[in-house]
Amino acid sequence: MKPTFPTDFWDSLAAFSNPVPNDVPGALRGLGVEVLRELSRTDSAEYLARCPAHLSLTGKADRHPSFSVNGATGLFNCFSCGYAGPFIALVEDTLGYDRVQAWRWIARYGVYRTAEEPAAAPVAEEAVRVNEASLALFTPPPLEACRRRGVSQEACAELGVLWEPRAGHWILPIRDPETGALWGWQEKGRRYFRNYPTGIHKSLTLFGDLSWSGGTGLLLESPLDAVRALTLGIEGAFASFGAYVSEAQMRLLKARCRCLVLGLDNDSAGRTARDKIHSRWRPRGLPMKFLDYGHTTAKDLGEMSDADALTAWAGAHHPWRRRR
């Protein structure tokens, strides 16, 4: 006899594939997203609209149609603010649904297929091939450079941080969050900074130990500050590669952290980003605290003494118990 499962079981199972509505423009209308233009391609259509997340992510409404949704894959992307993901994430975000509720909502528009979960296609703008062998020219960072930056060689080794010996630059690898495959790296010197290859989709991943999960995580802007955190014994430290933290990065963090300490820079851009993340993700079930900057004028963890950095971590507090 065949086992029977309740509908809930199948719904939960289906929801964790990537359901795409049969009628993408109809479903967009249902979400209150007006399709302004349709581009027909040989294999699929692309629907252009004003970005629904723009106002909350950037503080300004999208005046151009910067947002596009692919009719075949259901993947959406705002080329201006970086808001991107599979169709079901758009439904979760817009309607405040959980994954299974979002699946049921999509099913009303007919699910004609469940595409593969997007492997966050890290297609760089230049056709540059990067693989592990590309790192062969780099060496482990020298002790002197580590001392100056307050990081240990062990922490560098653990997070795969390397050194470009000719110019004396840090090499911070950017990897696929699921497979660990190398996408490229950030190269950082005193007055030098570049991402390689150009156009690398760093907002679809995080810097840090992506196999870590289960405890209190720490979100920082700069990869080297995450290395410094690990040096100080803080294990779940991740960096977003800048003050802009994407939805995809927040999903990666939510999947790993039981609680997340927001340690974005102690400047107005960092505080604005921090408050936006808090108001957007707290209702979605991610407990968050703020890194304590009450005892210091430092802009980030990298500018603090070891003792101050550990105080900032130990003093992480709920937003409504602000210490200053």
Contact call for residue 156 and Zn ion (CB under 5 A): no
- The pair of structure tokens assigned to 275 is 């408050």
Q: Are 221 and 186 in contact (CB under 8 A)?
A: no
Closer CB to Zn ion, residue 59 or residue 233? 59
Contact call for residue 81 and Zn ion (CB under 5 A): yes
Closer CB to Zn ion, residue 62 or residue 292? 62
Q: Are 18 and 118 in contact (CB under 8 A)?
A: yes
Residue type present at position 7: T
Distance CA 54, CA 63 (A): 10
Q: Which range binds Zn ion by CB under 5 A, 4-12, 21-29, 77-85, 172-180?
A: 77-85
Closer CB to Zn ion, residue 83 or residue 109? 83
| Nearest-approach distance from CB 50 to Zn ion, in angstroms | 8
x/- track of binding to Zn ion for residues 117-136 (CB under 5 A)? --------------------
Distance CA 178, CA 252 (A): 10
Q: Which range binds Zn ion by CB under 5 A, 45-53, 125-133, 174-182, 299-307?
A: 45-53
| Nearest-approach distance from CB 4 to Zn ion, in angstroms | 44
| Nearest-approach distance from CB 253 to Zn ion, in angstroms | 20
Closest C-alpha to 99, from 256, 285, 277: 285
Q: Are 66 and 54 in contact (CB under 8 A)?
A: yes
Closer CB to Zn ion, residue 272 or residue 311? 272
242 CB burial (10 A radius; 0-12, 13-18, 19+):
middle
- The pair of structure tokens assigned to 23 is 């009628």
Distance CA 18, CA 15 (A): 7
- Considering CB under 5 A, how many residues would be counted as binding Zn ion? 6
Contact call for residue 78 and Zn ion (CB under 5 A): yes
Residue 194 pairs with which residues in a beta bridge?
187
Q: Are 47 and 74 in contact (CB under 8 A)?
A: no
| Nearest-approach distance from CB 52 to Zn ion, in angstroms | 8
| Nearest-approach distance from CB 118 to Zn ion, in angstroms | 18
| Nearest-approach distance from CB 57 to Zn ion, in angstroms | 6
Contact call for residue 201 and Zn ion (CB under 5 A): no
Helix, coil or strand: residue 267: coil
| Nearest-approach distance from CB 71 to Zn ion, in angstroms | 19
x/- track of binding to Zn ion for residues 46-75 (CB under 5 A)? -----x--x---------------------
Closer CB to Zn ion, residue 65 or residue 199? 65
Q: Give how far Cα 316 sits from Cα of 95, 261, 313, Å.
A: 31, 7, 5
**Residues in contact with Zn ion by the rule CB under 5 A:** 51, 54, 78, 80-81, 83
